[in-house]
Structure 1
Amino acid sequence: MTGWDIHPTGVYKVLSDCGAAAKSMSESGSAMQGNLEEAASAAGTLTSQYGPYTSTAGLVGSALAQFVQHWSRDLVYIAMRASKSLNGADQATRAYMAGAVEQALNAQREAAKEPKVDLPGVNKAGDGAKGR
């Protein structure tokens, strides 16, 4: 006996609701990324008054870039954690309903593992990441 008392209809209702919320969060995250880039571009640039005359991101653009750099790992982690949790609950419930309790336990165990976040272009040696 596992001690589980699963009501599949309730589980799938919660998974459906959570999936819709996760989709909305994903769409908002994508929109935010585009909006931040647009805002940084519209905020202007700094131009040297002495040659060579090159432009770099302005103060607001630089601050927005730092914001994205600081929070991007956490935002990706949240998305991956939510996905693993939803998929794990689905797989465990399906296995439980099929009478495969061992398979349900394995699905639950796998879903509980920490997701690994590997962002492109991030220096893995000295980025201060906590191993996510």
Structure 2
Amino acid sequence: MTGWDISPAGVQSVVSNVRDAADAMNSGITLYGKSVEGAMTSAGTLSFGTDGVGGDAAGLVALALAKFVEGTERDMAFLPLRASNSANGAVEATNAYISGSLEQAWNAQRQATRAPDVTAFLEAARKKAGEGR
């Protein structure tokens, strides 16, 4: 911990760039979700019953897209969470460094290097989405 030489203005600049990139990732992820949803809707349906009584179900392409989204959900959530945690950790470490608490700065830096809990994030997002209905 004795070799630290932090430039608060430099940290602020980098954190600003990281937050801009995270915002762009979130926008891209939102667009991705809307695009996949549109593709699923446009992919057509499977019809059951020739007399019109059997009903329709999602088509095979829509089901494949849904499985793909399900399989990549954690990866899509991880990227912006990681960026956010890293930026927040850099700010916390810098603030602690400025106040002279090198141990607190080291703890903030160490905490920021840990992988985010994507499972908890996704569960909270699903719960929040369910409450909005």
Q: Does 1:116 align with 2:114?
A: no
Matched letter for residue 70 of structure 2: Q
Q: Does 1:98 align with 2:99?
A: yes
* Higher fraction of helix: 2
Q: Distance in 2 between matches of 1:2 and 1:57?
A: 61
Superposition deviation, residue 57 in structure 1: 1.2
| Runs of 4 or more consecutive aligned structure 1 residues displaced over 2 Å after TM superposition | 49-52
User: What is residue 129 of structure 1 aligned with on the other side?
Assistant: none
Superposition deviation, residue 15 in structure 1: 0.7
Q: CA RMSD of the aligned region, Å?
A: 1.6
Superposition deviation, residue 54 in structure 1: 2.2
Structure 1 spans left out of the alignment, 5+ residues: 121-132
User: What is residue 124 of structure 1 aligned with on the other side?
Assistant: none
Q: Distance in 1 between matches of 2:75 and 2:46?
A: 30
Matched letter for residue 107 of structure 2: N
Q: Distance in 1 between matches of 2:4 and 2:71?
A: 40
TM-score by length of 2: 0.82
Q: Distance in 2 between matches of 1:19 and 1:83?
A: 7
How many residue pairs get aligned? The number is 120
Q: Does 1:63 align with 2:34?
A: no
User: What is residue 11 of structure 1 aligned with on the other side?
Assistant: 11
- RCO higher in 1 or 2 (8 Å CA, sep ≥ 6)? 2
Q: Distance in 2 between matches of 1:28 and 1:78?
A: 11
User: What is residue 85 of structure 1 aligned with on the other side?
Assistant: 86
Superposition deviation, residue 12 in structure 1: 0.9
Q: Distance in 1 between matches of 2:111 and 2:66?
A: 34
Q: Distance in 1 between matches of 2:21 and 2:116?
A: 20
User: What is residue 35 of structure 1 aligned with on the other side?
Assistant: 35
Matched letter for residue 41 of structure 2: S
Matched letter for residue 17 of structure 1: N
TM-score by length of 1: 0.82
**Same amino acid, percent of matched pairs:** 45
Structure 2 spans left out of the alignment, 5+ residues: 124-133
